[in-house]
Structure 1
């Protein structure tokens, strides 16, 4: 009877240890990936779910960074479009919302272009592709900053919320750019395991 108890205890200890070790490894992957980003807490929060698939592959982390940014930018663009429909702003505020929608749609185009290239990276064209992706992500950041600059009425609750959302997207884009830069410095050899 005691040997069964010892056996079960040993099995449970092994199971707990392996679970803790594997989750620690996953946590380590996301920490390593996000270590190059400017907004590390946001990076850790937005990319933690990719640890088991991206592991230590810079190409996968770059794709994940751009993917989550696209998702967030789409959500913010939808919020802007809803605000535009409700006509809560008049005059310059309304024009700023319309301009911001256009800027975020341009940013989304650049983010989609980046993700498309990241999905088709090749060893022969790697450096040119990295140059394109870096340019598109930098342009997306500029578009987001232009949106932020246009929103002047910071006293209104809806505008403050919108500013926070667009700022969050720009931080995520900055993190994605950092992950792409890490991929670029790693070089095409990391594509073998992508």
Structure 2
């Protein structure tokens, strides 16, 4: 059977448009991440960012909480580097420059709180589990507040650079919100 050029071009275009299958995540593994992320506000982001943990975390709320905080730390580090880079370039002026300085400070504080949270998640103890969960929840909530504080400094401002900064900070807050939900799920599941 001979293919006309139009059919061949259509076939090639359709093969490019068809999303690749994720052969590294089996159907069962995929259900683990979907179940874990069901408690989060930004479920698609959660599933995309944590799918690679399915094989090891399975149904363990502790592992999912650690994974959520770990991924959030990575995103927060990337955005902190971006903010520090903006600060060094000295490209924002006036009120926006002051807001950027505050942003860098609060993001470093957020990173500290996320690192403390991960450290405790790695050493959970049945005897003090409730206290540990309270501490972790407080620290992650504080990180979320820090991210909101950063955004508040740029409220009502325009410009491409400001919009990009706001987009990056908002994305980090979505990750942090998801991490907090995974920790809450762990807290409710118990030790």
Per the TM superposition, whether the score is higher than 0.5 is: yes
What is aligned with 1:192? none
> In the alignment, which residue of structure 2 is the partner of 1:61?
64
Question: What is the RMSD computed on CA atoms of the aligned residues?
Answer: 1.4
Shift of 1:65: 0.2
Q: 1:74 aligns with which of 60, 73, 77?
A: 77
- Normalising by structure 1, report the TM-score: 0.84
Q: Which residue pairs with 1:158 in the alignment?
A: 161
Report the Cα offset of residue 154 of structure 1: 3.7
Q: CA deviation at 1:67?
A: 0.3
**Residue in 2 that maps onto 1:98:** 101
Q: Which runs of 5+ in 1 are unaligned?
A: 1-18, 189-194
Any residues of structure 2 matched to 1:108-187 within 5 Å, and which?
108-152=111-155, 154-187=157-190
- Identify, as 1 or 2, the structure richer in helix: 1
Match of 2:28 in 1: 25
Q: Residue 12 of structure 2 corresponds to which residue in structure 1?
A: none
Alpha-carbon offset, residue 153 of structure 1: 5.9
Counterparts of 1:33-52 in structure 2, within 5 Å, are 33-52=36-55
Q: What number of residue pairs does the alignment pair up?
A: 169
TM-score of the superposition, structure 2-length normalised? Answer: 0.86
Q: CA deviation at 1:152?
A: 3.4
Unaligned runs of 5+ in 2: 1-21
